[in-house]
Each structure stands twice: as structure tokens, then as C-alpha cells.
A and B are shown apart, each in its own frame.
Chain A
Amino acid sequence: GAVVSQHPSWVICKSGTSVKIECRSLDFQATTMFWYRQFPKQSLMLMATSNEGSKATYEQGVEKDKFLINHASLTLSTLTVTSAHPEDSSFYICSARGDRGRVNTGELFFGEGSRLTVL
């Protein structure tokens, strides 16, 4: 099956620093990627939709200046948490929607997630 890889899988940072999380589709192209956030014992909440070559679309309540998303190529999207604070500590998951080709159009494939802890 198609593989989506996130890096890093676990990061600890000091309050006020910025952290970048990468999401790569390893064997397929993805025009569209999605970033989710998951709090303990809660559901995955969609943060934003990342579109290759254009600006991301953010969900209501998500600060676009805090969570910078860049989708520079058909296989890579990055989420940068700027000036991170302890309340940003969470599990961030990306998913990629397969374009035509090797994967079924429309099916989502998920990365393994990145756990961010802000001290």
C-alpha cells in the first residue's frame, strides 16, 4: 500500500521556539495533504488542507500564522509550529490523498504522527 512518512516522530522543544514537521508521500503523488491534531482521548481534528503550489486552507479556529503550512512539491508538505507554547503540545498527524496513478483517487493515507512536547 501507499506510504506516508512523517518526521520527526517525536520532538521536544523549549517554549518560544519553532518546530517543523515534514510529511512525505513516499511512493505516490499527492496534490492534497491534510494536517490533523489529536489530543489525548479525543478525536482527530482537521487543522488545514494543504494544496501543492497554493496557500493552505485552514479550519475555523486554527491560527494560520501560528501553524505555517507549505506544500512545495507533490510529495512533501511541512507544518511549522511557530513560537511554540506548552498548549501546542499534541499529536500531529498528516494524511495524503492519492492522485491518479498508483493509488485509488480520493483514498487517504496517514502518516505515523508526530508527538510534540513543548516545555
Chain B
Amino acid sequence: AQSVSQHNHHVILSEAASLELGCNYSYGGTVNLFWYVQYPGQHLQLLLKYFSGDPLVKGIKGFEAEFIKSKFSFNLRKPSVQWSDTAEYFCAARGAGANNLFFGTGTRLTVIP
């Protein structure tokens, strides 16, 4: 069965610290992968996505993610976080060409000024 796991439920960092949020997926075929962010009081926004090609994907606001097929992982990274990065981050996956988008449980990031 398809599933997405996010291991960190709540991460607290100081400004300028580096960030890595884990995401693992379970899917039998070709998969599309996404990271969404939800800032307080706002709707989900796409940070970045991976369909094919270069496994290192650059997104908005300095975020990047690396698709490692052998590990079924798509971890989100940012070298230096800012207070404004405080938000909930969701990893999601779907089969290529499929409608269903499966979400992880989300990781709450709190950045302390």
C-alpha cells in the first residue's frame, strides 16, 4: 500500500541552523514526490517537486530535496533557516499519472530568533 512517513513531528531550531526533514515513501512504481509548506493561518503551498531527472531538486525560499531511490527517501534540506520558515511541512507522493496524492503526517518546524 502507498504511504508516506515523516519521522520528525516537531523540530525546533535556532536561526541560521541547518535543516533536514526526513521523508520516506512506500510505492511500487514510478513516483512523483512533493514537499508542501503551510504557514500559520495560510493554505498549503508547493515548495518543490520531483518527477524525474536530477535527483537534487531546488525549490523556493532556498529549500532543496534529494530523491534517493535506493532509500525510498526524499528529505528536505535548507542550509540556514530563518524565523519566517516557521511552519508545517508536508511530504507527499503519488504514482506517476495518478490522481491520489498521499501525504505524510507533517513536521512542525519552529525557528527561534
Write out the residue numbers on chain A whose beta carbons fall within 8 Å of the beta carbon of B103: 36, 43-45
B42 CB within 8 Å of chain A: yes
> Which residue in A44, A93, A110 is a CB contact (below 8 Å) of B45?
A110
A92 CB within 8 Å of chain B: no
B82 CB within 8 Å of chain A: no
Interface contact B106-A43, CB-CB below 8 Å? yes
B26 CB within 8 Å of chain A: no
How large, as a class, is the contact surface on chain A?
A: 20 to 34
- A59 and B1 CA atoms in complex are apart in Å by 14
Q: Report the minimal beta-carbon distance from B2 to chain A, rounded to whole angstroms.
A: 11
- A25 and B42 CA atoms in complex are apart in Å by 16
Interface contact A108-B46, CB-CB below 8 Å? yes
Q: Report the minimal beta-carbon distance from B94 to chain A, rounded to whole angstroms.
A: 9
Which B residues are within 8 Å of any A CB, using their own CB? 4, 9, 36, 42-46, 49, 90, 99-106
